Structure 1
Amino acid sequence: MAKITLTEFLSMDGVVQAPGGPDEDRSNGFEHGGWLVPFADEDMENYMAGLFDAVDAFLLGRRTYEIFAAAWPKVTDENDPIASRLNTLPKYVASTTLDKADWHNSTVLSGNVPEKVAALKKEFDRELQIHGSATLAQSLMAHDLIDEYRLLVFPVVLGKGKRLFEEGVLPTAFELVDSGTTRSGVALLTCRPKGRPTYGTFELAE
């Protein structure tokens, strides 16, 4: 059975909106698109390429799918570690508005997406990878369906924008299983859920 992994770019205040360019997502008047680009370096490139070594298929939200489908088919180098996987492996796009997905080997998931994703886990052996796709990720988080989080935290605060961990998210405790940093200052955190949080208190001795 495959595990579901989420790779997400976050600012220090948790924003995930439009990391790669000004026009990726301007909804709600967001004007900070492209905030990760100044920190992209060879370390980040190598880290991302390594993640794609374990993928069997991709789970994508509609917006992320459309961004990827407009860009990655133009990268035709069969040795590119990211494009070669994205352009050939199965892609499942969660959407209530798309009737079809034209990018090679793409399938639209509609209806009860968490239920369908849970069934997909049984069809693959390694990883079903989510990249970006925060709305999809949130719907799966609500059902404890994400097995591992790869969070790239960039040293920038934006003050507004869509966040991965919005108010009302299912309370979850995590264990940190790996960490690192790039030379540009990006924290690379790999975390796995370990159930509901536990609580305590610091009491002063009498």
Structure 2
Amino acid sequence: MDRKIAIFDIESVLLDAEFLPMLAERAGKGKEVHEITVQGLRGEIKWEEGLRRRIELLKNVSEEEARKVADSMPYMKGAKEVCEELKRRGYVLIGVTGGFTIFSERVKEELGLDYLFSNQLTFNEGKLHGVAPLTVRSDRVEGLEDLLVKLGAKKENVVAVVDGANDMKLFRYAGTRIAFNAQPIVKEVANVIVDGNDLREIMKYLVF
């Protein structure tokens, strides 16, 4: 039997939140970080540049505060049910985020994801310092292609669910390319468009 694989972006897909904007609100930098985030989602600036600028604005936020924000991020409506059903039907679940392990490891554990690709924040003396060398970039995910080869993935059996321009790299591996509450640039290259805040709406487009 051919292996079926679902690749999910995490922020604004599995989670109904974005970490850096939430942290920025706590730090009084919400407006500045929001503008950079929107520019990146629209594809107006390179994602890596946007990340660098946002982290620079948030340097010296306490690690304790960052963890509180990460732990408070809510799941997207239907995310748990979708993951449970896909696992029951034999899907391999892969989470990918340009965000950070500070929240993505919780998602992996609680939703039962099989694999996770995520970046990592660095802290120095209890304060946000920067980002470790990137695993997830705007144009590639280190190790993802090798994993898909190892799993024997066929493109027609892979679904990718994303929302932002920086996530479109995942579409190159997927036969079913779902734009979930996505920016217009993402919808242009998707073959399935789902608007609304219930992830269960994607199920009608999946192959079982």
TM-score > 0.5, shorter chain as reference = no
Q: Give the structure-2-normalised TM-score.
A: 0.41
Structure number with the higher strand fraction is 1
Please say which structure displays the higher CA radius of gyration: 1
Q: TM-score, normalised by structure 1?
A: 0.42
* Larger fraction in helix: 2
